[in-house]
Amino acid sequence: MLHIAIMGFGTVGAGVAEVVRMNAASIAEKTGEEVNVKYILDVRDFPDSPYADKMIKDFAILESDPEVEVVVESIGGAKVALEFTRRALQAGKHVVTSNKELVATHGKELLSIAKARGVNYLFEASVGGGIPVLRPLFEDLSANQIEEIVGILNGTTNYILTRMVKGGVSFADALKEAQSKGYAEADPTADVEGIDAGRKICILSNLAWGKEVLPQSISMEGISAIHLQDVDIAAKAGYRIKLLGRALRLPDGRQTAYVAPHLVPENCPIAVVDDVFNGIIIRGNAVGDVMFYGRGAGDLPTASAVMSDVLDAAAHRQNRRDIGWNESAEITPAGEIPMKWYLRGSFSSEDAKTLCGEVEVLSSGAVITGALTEAQTKDAAEKLGAAAMLRVL
């Protein structure tokens, strides 16, 4: 029997306990052993919970119990969760998490501890919720040189943009809807300003190229400044505005990563990823484009990914997963990479051509430029008096 402990009994932790309960028979049949939730650690009381007899408040209990082989960290944040994860790994226990902040900011250290202790630190659920994307990236696509990763990595912002496109709702009103439905927090900053997606694209980049990219080293731009007028112009011209996380391997071996809203051509697969769903495209030099799609959050979808790691850790008790990133990546600022841009203002298309070269005219006063750096585009936008400036995929 595999004994596990859950740290944090919020949405994800409760979802893990429920998946173990409802799928106990099929898990045992597929893996050859039963899974038992021995402890649930939380500072709160849950007297009416069916798991009340498993509740503990002292981390040392699970830390010192030799029967507990896998610990699920679903506390969140990078304070208490960091301390308990360190201690669990040092105690020789495998740790599984959905905590993207912890993995993005402290993954290098925690993977190093796991390697030294001969255990696994796995985090499939930290990117894409229930979508299996990390394991395919480091396992199924390992024969490829990964060239680019781009995707919708945050369901909250995707829901807001979907409502703006399909409902003609302003950003402020769409955000209120998202909060009323439980898709957005009372403080939505991490979502709407691109921070959540930034942590996720760092994790994807780290796994793709084996070099550490910290969130503070990349640019993150959110959707709070997106105007309904630009959403409408883009849609009528065959584009959708999406918040994308993007990581690229450059020809000279350096890397870049960033988060920003983009105009995405409607024939691109991720253009039609709507509501709270996520869509991630990975481009390999052998396989071409591979797309992963599904629910990027939620208790049971995320718990599904967590449990896949729990079972993977158990299957690799003796022969641990050798994943990690040991050196820092040399990051080229995203603004230095020439790309196309959307500009909107009261300028003429002729003036835009003079400053931006060949342009695609979307409507009166709205164009897509040729490939320009961010500095070149800002200079052109200033001279044109542009009111909006967005990247184009």
- Nearest Cα residue to 259 out of 305, 203, 310, 208: 203
C-alpha dist (Å) from residue 351 to 146, 348, 382: 39, 5, 12
Contact 33, 55 (CB under 8 A): no
- Nearest Cα residue to 39 out of 30, 19, 64: 64
Looking at the chain, list the stretches that DSSP marks H as alpha helix, in order from N- to C-terminal side.
11-22, 24-31, 59-63, 80-90, 100-117, 134-135, 155-167, 171-180, 189-192, 195-209, 228-236, 299-315, 349-356, 374-384
Determine the Cα–Cα distance for residues 192 and 261; give it in Å rounded to an integer: 11
**Whole-angstrom distance between the N-terminal and C-terminal Cα of the chain?**
49
Active site residue 57: no
Determine the Cα–Cα distance for residues 367 and 234; give it in Å rounded to an integer: 10
Q: What is the largest CA-CA distance in the chain?
A: 73
Contact 99, 82 (CB under 8 A): no
**What residues pair up with 341 in beta bridges, in sequence order?**
391
SS3 category, 58: coil
Contact 270, 240 (CB under 8 A): no
The active-site residue, picked from 38, 100, 115, 200, is: 200
| b/e 247-264 (16+ beta carbons within 10 angstroms → b) | bbbeeeeebbbbbbbbbb
Quickly count: other Cβ atoms within 10 Å of residue 129's Cβ. Answer: 28
Angle at 264 between CA 261 and CA 268, to 5 degrees: 140
Q: In which residue are the tokens 């921070």 written?
A: 195
**Token pair in block for residue 182:** 């439980």
Determine the Cα–Cα distance for residues 342 and 368; give it in Å rounded to an integer: 4
Q: Which residues are catalytic?
A: 200
